[in-house]
Every structure is written in structure tokens, then in C-alpha cells.
Amino acid sequence: MDKVGIGIIGCGNISGAYLKAMTSAFPILDIHGLGDLNHDLAEAKASEFNLQARTVDELLADPKIEIIVNLTIPKAHVTVALQALDAGKHTYSEKPLGINFAEGKKLAEAAKAKGLRIGAAPDTFLGGGHQTARELIDRGVIGIPVGGTATFMCPGHERWHPNPAFYYEVGGGPMLDMGPYYITDLVNLLGPVSQVAGFAITPRKERIITSEPRNGERIPVHVPTHVAGVMAFANGAVMQIGMSFDVAGHKHVPLEVYGTEGTLIVPDPNRFEGPVGYLRKGGQFEDQPATLPYADGNYRSIGVADLAHAIRSNRPHRANGDLALHVLEVMEAFHTASAEGRTIKITTATERPAPLSDSLVDGRLAK
């Protein structure tokens, strides 16, 4: 299968994980260069991975590049993606698709008008641990899905990230930062969301960075940092969700799914691997090892590889624009529900992504 030319815009903290997987696990991807507004950053990352640093304009103008991988900060996602579409490129963005539903919808409409594809992280739901959970649900081992819990809670990213201010700007916060992993995985497992209710609060108006090199600097907080809510799914299941940058510690597992006949403990949605805990009604929890591929490491960029294979095979890609836009609308709905004191009906529809039951290598991919 012919390789697909890739250009990467944004060489920040997450780019290393993408580049490591792209250059080692997915031979269909042919990287033609890295660009960043900070050219020194692009040069350093290019040197690390034996690639070429280029300007953003050069990447957009290169006819060999078919997909722009957009690893910029959230508030730049849509701007850069629109530039890629204008240049005739498909585009795949880091999460979230946009900082609000309106701009995400604008991007989706622009892609449709130009006949181009858009995709977005997270792609962790394609990992073997999550696909094994999907297989168990599809086989009916937990019976009728009833509900569950989705929990991400921590004290805040200013503890470890070298430049954490954007996590507290518009487009950040725990829901838009970590919510994509959990909600995307739940759509993979259960299907689309139909309604949302929730509350969002901002206990602190500023944070003190304790990581280097900005240790001691105070940064303002412009978004809710503790969000609790409920999602009603189209299939009838009702899930509780909690996303927080204000919790010192907790004992909840990241993701549980309950059914009439059993319960699943799903691996961390921010990771690809991990066993699935399964409890049959009346029994005890047992680990079900991941039986599907991509459960043995960090395959961040598998969504890009799936997009590349989909372009060559003329089939839908899994981490697609409809899915990302649906998740973005759901996340925004928690804030709207809190501000307006009402339940929010979700207007977008999306299909569950096709299950991944084979390898991406040489294009062997489940249709």
C-alpha cells in the first residue's frame, strides 16, 4: 500500500509520543517535516527523530503531504485545521476538536464542503484494552447496558507540565482536556449521547506552578476546574462523570460499565493497554487480558494511521470528525447545563466507530 505523506504542525509536549509511534509502528506514514511557530522547538524535535524542520507555510504548500497532523494548543486547533483544508490537505488534530462547539461545527462544515477528511484525538479507544471491552459488550456478556461511572480527578497539571497555563484558559479545564478520552471511549462502547445534565465550579481563581522552569509563577484560571454530571445515552444507559483539577486523591477507577448481567472495569481511557475487569452477576471480579492488538504500548497516532489507511482503501476512518464533534458538543453541554440550570439535549449524531479486530500492518484492518 502506498505511503501517505504527513506534515506535523506543533512540536510541544505531546509531539514526542506521536513521533515515536509514527516512526516505529505505522509504516504507511511518511513524515515530510515538522513545523512550529517556535522554529527552535521544531529544529530540536526534528533532530531528535532524524526528521526535517520546516516552516508551516512550507508544509502547507508541499504537494507530497496529504495529512496535516495538528498538535498545537487547543485554541489554535481550528485555525490550523482550516488552513490545512484551504491547502487541500486532510487534517487530524489533537483533542479537543475545537474550544467550543460552534467552531468545531464550522470546521466540520468546511471539510465537507471541500470533500476532505478531518479526524481528531483521542485514539486510545483503538487500543487493545478498550477494543476487548467493546468486544465483551457486543457479545452481550454484561447483558443490557445500564450505566456506570467515568472519573478523572487530580490536583492539577501545574505540578508537572513545563508550560501549564493553557490548561486554565478557555478551551482547557478538566472536561475539555481529559473528557475527550472518557467520552470518546464511552461512545465507542455504548454509542452516542442523547442528553446531559451537570454542574461546573471554579474553586480557585489562580494557580501556582510548581513544575520547572516556571516554578512559583501564578497563573489565572478562566474555566471551571471541577465538573460533575450525568450522560443519558441513546441506547438507554445513564453514566455518571466527574472531571476535576481540584482533588488531592481518590479511590475511584477511571471507567466502570454496568449491565444487567455483569460489570466491566475498563482500562484507563488515556492509555491503550490494560486488562479488562469482568464480574459476572453473582461472581467475583476477574481480569480478562486484552485479546486484540495495540495493547502493549503507547500507540498515540494510531488514529492518523487509520485515517491514512482509510484514504487508501476508500473507507470511513474511526477517529473521525463526526465522533470528535459529537464529543465536543457533549463536553460543552456540561458547562451549559450548569450555567443555565437545565438538561441539554445533544443535537449531533454519530455512529459507533467500527471495531478494530485486526492489525493495521499492511492495511489488514477490519472494515
- Please give the residue range of the domain that contains residue 23: 4-124+299-320+351-363
Specify whether 237 is located in the same domain as 167. Answer: yes
Q: Is 322 helix (H, G, I), strand (E, B) or coil?
A: helix
CATH of the domain at 100: 3.40.50.720
- What are the residues facing 242 on neighbouring strands? 151, 228
Q: Tens of pLDDT along 95-150? A: 999 999 999 999 999 999 999 999 999 999 999 999 999 999 999 999 999 999 99
* H/E segment holding residue 86: helix 77-86
Q: Per-residue confidence at 358, pLDDT binned at 50, 70, 90?
A: confident
What span, in angstroms and rounded, lies between the C-alpha atoms of 294 and 26? 12
Q: Tens of pLDDT along 244-300? A: 999 999 999 999 999 999 999 999 999 999 999 999 999 999 999 888 999 999 999
Looking at the predicted structure, is the pLDDT value of residue 363 above 50?
Answer: no
pLDDT of residue 366: 41
Specify whether 228 is located in the same domain as 152. Answer: yes
Specify whether 120 is located in the same domain as 132. Answer: no
pLDDT of residue 353: 95
Q: Which three cell numbers stand for residue 91?
A: 487534517
Contact predicate 288/276, CB 8 Å? yes
What span, in angstroms and rounded, lies between the C-alpha atoms of 362 and 293? 14
Q: How distant, in Å, are the alpha carbons of 35, 132, 190 from that of 72?
A: 10, 31, 30
Better pLDDT: 54 or 365 = 54
Q: Tens of pLDDT along 311-337? A: 999 999 999 999 999 999 999 999 999
Specify whether 48 is located in the same domain as 99. Answer: yes
pLDDT of residue 248: 96
Q: Tens of pLDDT along 71-92? A: 999 999 999 999 999 999 999 9
Q: Tens of pLDDT along 218-239? A: 999 999 999 999 999 999 999 9
Kindly report the average pLDDT of the chain as a whole number: 95
Specify whether 31 is located in the same domain as 103. Answer: yes
The total number of structural domains in the chain stands at: 2
